[in-house]
Amino acid sequence: MAAEPVMTAEEWFEGMRHARPPTPDDVTVLWDGRRLDSREAVMAWLAEVDATRAEEAADGTRAGT
C-alpha cells in the first residue's frame, strides 16, 4: 500500500515556513556537470544559452520560408 501524506496543505505550508535557508553549495548544475558557482561560470553559460536561442531563431526563420 502506497504511503499517503499525513497533513493538509495548510499544515504543510506552516511547517515549511520553518525550513532552513539553502546552503551556498546548492547551485545550478548543468547537464554536463558544470556548476554555476561564480559570476564567471554564469556569464559563460548565458553566452551559450544566447547562442542556442540564435540557432533556434534561425531554424524558425528557415522553417517559415
Partner 1 sequence: MPGPDGPPHDLPRLIEVLNRHEVQYLIVGGAAAYAYGAERPTEDADCVVLRQRANLARLAGALRELHARLRVGRMTDAEARALPVQIDATLLDLAGMSTWMTDAGPFDVLAGLEAADGRLVPYEELAERAVAIRGDGLVIKVAGLDDIIVAKERAGRLKDRDALPELHALRDRRRTSG
**Binding residues for partner 1, per CB under 8 A?**
1-13, 15-31, 36-39, 41-43, 45-46, 48-49, 52-53, 56
The minimum distance between CB 2 and partner 1, in angstroms, equals 6
The minimum distance between CB 64 and partner 1, in angstroms, equals 18
The minimum distance between CB 65 and partner 1, in angstroms, equals 22
Q: Quick one: DSSP state of residue 23?
A: P
Q: Quick one: DSSP state of residue 33?
A: S
Q: How distant, in Å, are the alpha carbons of 36, 40, 50, 54 from that of 24? A: 11, 16, 26, 32
Which of 29/58 has CB closer to partner 1? Answer: 29
Q: Is 35 helix (H, G, I), strand (E, B) or coil?
A: strand
